[in-house]
A and B are shown apart, each in its own frame.
Chain A
Amino acid sequence: MKMVTAIIKPFKLDDVREALSEIGVSGITATEVKGFGRQKGHTELYRGAEYTVDFLPKVKLEIAIIADQVNSVVEAISTAAKSEGEGKIGDGKIFVSSLEQVLRIRTGETGSVAL
């Protein structure tokens, strides 16, 4: 099994979720995170003193899947999360790592049936 972790722009969340459910992914855990990357933050002004908000709000999605699904999941995410046209800096990243075990708390099932 694999764990796919995607960092995306917050307002792409709905699109990505839809794309994932179309290919049969039923479980996602989402976290609000702050990203530091190539995309730079913006400057705010408060009483005449500037200050930089140099983190950007992003959403992290974690999706546990069986190994066979990795490619389709990564593609679904990257298609849905990419800004129109050429893509934009800050569209995000997808990370894949291996997952040794999964357990569904309710039933005690383990392995791919627990996903």
Chain B
Amino acid sequence: MSTASTTSPDISGASASGPKKQQGYWAGVGSRVRRDKITLICGGILLVMFLLIVFAPWIAPYDPLQGSMARRLKPVGWQGHLLGTDELGRDMLTRLMYGGRYSWFVGITPVTIAFAIGGSLGILAGFVGGKVNMLIMRATDVFYAFPSVLLAVAISGALGPGIFNAILSMTLVFIPPLIRVSESVTTSVRNLDYVESARATGASAFTIVRVHVLPNVMGPIFVYATTLISVSMILASGLSFLGLGVKPPTPEWGMMLNTLRTAIYSQPLLATLPGICIFVTSLCFNLLSDGLRGAMDVRN
């Protein structure tokens, strides 16, 4: 073989420095996120919450189920109870920490499962196209024809209350939108020339999906899924509030909000604390996904 380095001299000059500094895609996203204060703060808050929740059994000051009537409904800051106590005299901070576990779990699990299932189906539909696409998308249309809360409530209602059923029904609710988003992202990626040229090398469909499709569609699908987390958190706590989620005494924010409600006249701040937790979490997830979306937009 001849040496491949015999090149015309006039082109070698073109190797002047490119328009931008050398940087990987994710590194670029990272640096953009790092410059975005709001996203950072939200990420920070969520991280702190996450740690508090995960390590609740080790760091929570009290037993979440252990109360005492002698200290029921004490205000925020009362004698070693940083956030007061609930209607059965259990430490609010502790319960909020434990409650977060369930709220986060019930909020995030359906999105995660739906991300896996809906994402796969959507990518499949988008990549394979044709009849498969038709089949999957028409089925999706049917579930799209239900308002989401209604669907979740109806399925939960039919299945009966319980954490598992709540997760199941919410998963069913989130699968269709995830299919739609991943299908459209995949379809647009599939028609890009680089996928065509990968096909032109004779690569198998699996390799093409793995190397060329997945890395390019996961980002947008993931960001979309994070926006769903906020919806999911609210929906999950709503289901608990309706009694379709966890059972007492398991602390869960929606449930706590429900049982503490009657105390709103005597301890207004206390009674709104679980609501504030839901609000802040959902807000942070929303802002975080906004920030992520912005940072992942290569046009920036």
Question: Do A and B interact?
Answer: no
